[in-house]
Amino acid sequence: MADLPRAARLYLGAVLATASLAAVIGIAVAPPRIEMAPVALVLLGCATVAQQFKVRSPKHQSYYTTTIFFFAAALLLHPGYVVVIILTAHGVELLRVRYRWYIQAFNVANFLLCSMAAGALFNAGLQGNPVGGARSALFALLAGLVFVGLNHLLTALVIMWARGVPISRAGTMDWDNLGTDLALMSVGALGSLLWLTNPWLVPLCLGPLFLIYRSLLVPSLKEEARTDPKTELANMKHWNEVARAEVERARRFRRPLTVVLADLDLLRDINNRHGHLTGDQMIRRVADAIRGALREYDVPARFGGDEFAILMPETTLAEAMTVAERVRRGVEAIALKLSDGLTVGASVSIGVAQLPGHGRTASELLAAADRAVYQAKALGRNRVCAFTERESDTVRPIRIPSSPRREAS
């Protein structure tokens, strides 16, 4: 944990200690349920299998259907069974995928705390009352809300302290994220209540579980359809769709908008001297530099083999030139270190066009920015030029002293 900030290390230690204490107290206080051992074995197998099928969202968040089985275990089983199920599911995953030890330890502690809290609430609500009525459903719902809410809050806090990201931007408290786990929780609650009333109905929960898992894949598939696989920027089909909508909005409300086109200089020379694999690495490095230099609402895309288009809504020409210069300097600072010890640098020629002076549609703005790129190349490459109406117009590129290169391997 030495690579984490001090606040994150303290938080992780507190969560691990609290989870361990809660597990020990739960095991010691809860009455034994030996007769539920077969159910525990089934949930153990289901949770272990489900933990191996992770779905990653476009925002780099991970979803597991394991939540269903952890929550069902929390409602039905003795805390000792719950501890074994959570530890086994994550332990088997760790054999297949190597995480830093504290990441998996936090995940285990997180689910232990959520399960202990949810199970205690559910069992306290049913104390001395028959199972199967409205009271059972109410406390299963409350337990589910506690399970999901606590799980997401603990995750948001670790992201905030480990990465310096505010809770509002961590993503774990977004409705889409919460809604997914609430849906998983409801299936777990339904299966638990069915088991307590009529176990033969439990297999009916498998249908909704399959549909939920398939629905989790939809955002990722959509993202793949609109993303360039090499750079993970938008592809031009998606960029054109966004650009048409943004240009129409900017024209309707008379708002500023600019389009930037960046062309990687002399990529052919890199391919010829060092091979196409090195050229591909450089393209990815340039894409990373572009992504890192832009604002949150800018839309970058890979336009072609060595060209990148950037849509900048609500941006004047002067503002776009400043951002484009930041992109140029970021690319200029790249130093791609090869296995033979050589270091390869890069530069881009950038053209900028604005709405409506340089075009009234996305394609016209892109063509104007493309011409500005050629103007930048004609002036010696590695510079930013705004579109000029006539070839004879004076071109005034922005030039800022070169920044030191950063090493990248």
Name the phi and psi angles at 98, rounded to 5: -85, 110
CB 152 within 8 A of CB 113: no
Confidence grade of residue 401 (pLDDT, cut at 50, 70, 90): very low
Residues 150 and 248 in one domain: no
Q: Does residue 362 contact residue 376 with C-beta atoms inside 8 Å?
A: no
CATH number, domain containing residue 305: 3.30.70.270
With both helix axes pointing from N to C terminus, report the angle between 6-29 and 134-163 in degrees, rounded to the nearest 10: 150
Rounded to a whole number of angstroms, the CA Rg of the chain reads 28
- Same domain? 281 vs 322: yes
Choose the weakest-confidence range: 35-44, 114-123, 160-169, 378-387. 160-169
* Same domain as 240, residue 211: no
Letter string b/e over residues 136-174, b meaning 16 or more CB atoms within 10 A of that residue's CB: beebbeebbebbbbbbbebbbbbbbbbeeeeeeebbbee
Per-residue confidence band for 263, with pLDDT thresholds at 50, 70 and 90: very high
307 phi and psi, to 5 degrees?
-120, 150
Question: Buried b / exposed e across 58-81, counting CB within 10 Å, b at 16+?
Answer: eeebebbbbbbbbbbbbbbbbbbb
User: Are 128 and 250 members of one domain?
Assistant: no
| Same domain assignment for residues 188 and 70 | yes
**Residue with more model confidence, 42 or 211:** 42
pLDDT over 80 at 156, yes or no: yes
Assess if residue 230 is contained within a domain. Answer: no
Is residue 244 predicted with pLDDT exceeding 90?
yes
**Enclosing H/E stretch for 341:** none
Taking the C-alpha atoms of residue 153 and residue 159, their distance in angstroms, rounded to an integer, is: 10
Give pLDDT, residue 61.
Answer: 58
**Domain membership flag for residue 101:** yes
Orientation angle between helical segments 236-253 and 362-378, nearest 10 degrees: 110
pLDDT at position 221, please?
A: 65
Lowest-pLDDT choice from 22-36, 103-117, 215-229, 246-260:
215-229
Are 285 and 214 in a shared domain? no
pLDDT value at 404 more than 70: no
Q: What are the residues whose beta carbons fall under 8 Å from the beta carbon of 221, sequence distance 6 or more?
A: none
Asked if residue 335 and residue 191 are part of one domain, the reply reads: no
* Residue 72 pLDDT exceeds 80: yes
Short-list 400, 405, 388, CA closest to 354 = 388
Please name every residue paired with 56 in a beta bridge, in sequence order, or none if there are none. 62
pTM score: 0.59
Q: Which of 167, 198, 225 is the last residue of a domain?
A: 225
**260 and 323 Cβ atoms separated by less than 8 Å:** yes
Where among 225, 248, 280 does a domain terminate? Answer: 225
pLDDT of residue 125: 85
Give the residue among 69, 192, 188 at the shortest CA–CA distance from 123: 192
Question: What CATH number is attached to the domain comprising 79?
Answer: 1.10.1760.20
Q: Do 156 and 278 fall into the same domain?
A: no
Average pLDDT, whole number, for the chain? Answer: 85
Q: Is the peptide bond before 203 cis (omega within 30 degrees of 0)?
A: no
The string of pLDDT tens digits covering residues 115-147 is 999 999 998 888 777 776 788 889 899 999 999
Whether residue 345 is contained in a domain is answered as yes
Is residue 305 located within the same domain as residue 384? yes
Answer yes or no: do 52 and 121 share one domain: yes
One domain, residues 50 and 195: yes
**Residue 321 forms part of a structural domain:** yes
Total domain count, the chain: 2
Sign of the C-alpha dihedral computed for residues 374, 380, 386 and 391 taken in this order: negative
Is the separation of the CB atoms in 114 and 146 below 8 Å?
Answer: yes
Q: Which domain holds residue 242?
A: 236-408
pLDDT in tens, 344-367: 999 999 999 999 999 999 999 999
Task: Compute the distance between CA of residue 310 and CA of residue 313 in angstroms, rounded to an integer.
Answer: 10
Residue 304's CB is within 10 A of a number of other CB atoms, namely 10
